[in-house]
């Protein structure tokens, strides 16, 4: 077996083989080994991802993908416990590695290589009567709600997207993945298969083109029944401290319940204790976790 760098976007056959491995691993593990951005990077060269493949007689047995900040990796279920994961992990050197689901096997592998847990990302979920109660949005006198198509019709796309980016980058200036977005990054995000403009919701200052905040929801169709996700929620700096966070969150929940969601999930950093408490108070509970292992 050898570890070899491969330009997967330029190698559709091997990219397809990696997709097959990821699908089988998800079926066996009950959790996706690659996050959305890393999955897109298998075929989208614009993302600039690096890929290391574990090859045995030219057959793909495992893969690691890196974006310059961290790595994600997967080993084909039929070839686990044969040193494939160890070889890939050693090839990454000191790079940080995500373990989605934080499964016992991943923990054991990381610890055997002297790694320690440095970041925990929680997946929280809400269902049933608690979801119905949390999805009660009441209009706020300072702001009005518009979805993305309605906002573009009223204010023009360039105004809306610049306001959206400003609010996003103010809200997530500290965040390694969500902060520092530009128009090109926003355009790429809207190219994904699941994106629907009507699922992006805004609160605007009443009668003014001043964006208070946005709630970008995501609709999951990969499972039955389908469900919703609080994908990104952000308040502009000028509108913080006005009690708009709750209404903004409830606006998105109401929208997803209106589409038929019986479950809604969200991702939150485990060390963001105030946010975790807010979600718990609404009825969200921890469903799974994703962690970064570092040297």
Query: Taking the chain, what is the end-to-end CA distance rounded to the nearest angstrom?
Result: 25
Check the annotation: does 135 bind a ligand: no
- For residue 225, the model assigns a pLDDT of 95
Check the annotation: does 289 bind a ligand: no
Q: Are residues 256 and 282 in the same domain?
A: yes
Per the structure, how many domains does the chain have?
2
Q: Are residues 149 and 248 in the same domain?
A: yes
90 with 113: CB under 8 angstroms?
yes
Mean pLDDT throughout 91-118?
97
Mean pLDDT throughout 248-277?
96
Q: Are residues 69 and 145 in the same domain?
A: no
Q: Are residues 145 and 172 in the same domain?
A: yes
Check the annotation: does 13 bind a ligand: no
Residue range of the domain that includes 104: 2-114
Answer yes or no: is 295 within a domain: no
Check the annotation: does 84 bind a ligand: yes
How far is residue 80's CA from residue 127's CA, in Å, rounded to a whole number?
35
Answer yes or no: is 294 within a domain: no
Model confidence pTM above 0.85 = yes
Give me the percent of the chain exceeding a pLDDT of 90.
95
Polymer length of the chain: 295
Q: Are residues 40 and 142 in the same domain?
A: no
Per-residue pLDDT tens digits for 173-182:
888 788 899 9
Q: Are residues 179 and 106 in the same domain?
A: no
Q: Are residues 88 and 200 in the same domain?
A: no
User: For residue 287, what are its two tokens?
Assistant: 């469903």
Check the annotation: does 291 bind a ligand: no
Check the annotation: does 86 bind a ligand: yes
Domain end point (choices 114, 148, 171): 114
Check the annotation: does 234 bind a ligand: yes
Specify which residues 290 forms β-bridges with.
100, 121
User: For residue 125, what are its two tokens?
Assistant: 């979920």
Check the annotation: does 133 bind a ligand: no
Answer yes or no: is 119 within a domain: no
Check the annotation: does 273 bind a ligand: yes
Q: Are residues 172 and 201 in the same domain?
A: yes
Q: Are residues 42 and 74 in the same domain?
A: yes
Checking if the pLDDT of 159 tops 90, the result is yes
Domain end point (choices 114, 141, 176): 114
Say whether the peptide bond before residue 41 is cis (omega within 30 degrees of 0): no
Answer yes or no: is 212 within a domain: yes
Check the annotation: does 229 bind a ligand: yes
Check the annotation: does 79 bind a ligand: no
Answer yes or no: is 214 within a domain: yes
State the pLDDT confidence band at 115, using cuts at 50, 70 and 90.
Answer: very high
CATH number (domain holding residue 241)? 3.40.630.30
Output the average pLDDT for the chain. 96
At 195 the three-state DSSP class reads coil
State the pLDDT confidence band at 184, using cuts at 50, 70 and 90.
Answer: very high
Check the annotation: does 151 bind a ligand: no
Q: Are residues 105 and 143 in the same domain?
A: no
Q: Are residues 269 and 135 in the same domain?
A: yes
Q: Sort 271 into a burial class: Cβ within 10 Å, 0-12 / 13-18 / 19+.
A: exposed
Check the annotation: does 251 bind a ligand: no
Check the annotation: does 155 bind a ligand: no
């Amino acid at each position: 077996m050898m570890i070899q760098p491969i330009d997967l976007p330029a190698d559709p056959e091997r990219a397809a083989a990696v997709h097959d491995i990821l699908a089988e691993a998800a079926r066996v593990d009950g959790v996706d080994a690659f996050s959305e951005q890393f999955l897109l990077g298998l075929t989208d060269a614009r993302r600039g991802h690096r890929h290391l493949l574990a090859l045995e007689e030219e057959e793909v047995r495992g893969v690691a993908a890196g974006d310059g900040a961290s790595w994600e990796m997967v080993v084909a279920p039929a070839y686990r416990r044969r040193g494939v994961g160890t070889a890939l992990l050693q090839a990454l050197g000191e790079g940080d590695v995500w373990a989605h689901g934080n499964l016992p096997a991943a923990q054991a592998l990381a610890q055997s290589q002297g790694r320690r847990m440095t970041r925990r990302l929680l997946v929280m979920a809400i269902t049933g009567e608690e979801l119905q109660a949390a999805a009660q949005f009441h209009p706020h006198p300072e702001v009005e709600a518009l979805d993305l198509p309605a906002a573009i019709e009223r204010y023009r796309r360039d105004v809306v997207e610049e306001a959206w980016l400003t609010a996003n980058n103010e809200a997530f200036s500290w965040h390694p993945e969500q902060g520092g977005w530009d128009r090109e990054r926003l355009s790429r995000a809207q190219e994904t298969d699941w994106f629907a403009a009507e699922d992006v919701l805004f609160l605007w200052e009443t009668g003014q083109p001043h964006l208070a905040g946005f709630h970008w929801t995501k609709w999951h169709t990969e499972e039955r029944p389908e469900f919703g996700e609080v994908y990104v929620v952000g308040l502009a700096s000028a509108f913080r401290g006005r009690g708009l966070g709750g209404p903004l969150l409830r606006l998105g929940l109401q929208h997803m319940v209106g589409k038929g969601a019986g479950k809604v999930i969200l991702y939150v950093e485990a060390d963001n204790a105030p946010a975790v408490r807010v979600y718990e108070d609404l009825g969200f509970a921890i469903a799974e976790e994703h962690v970064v292992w570092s040297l």
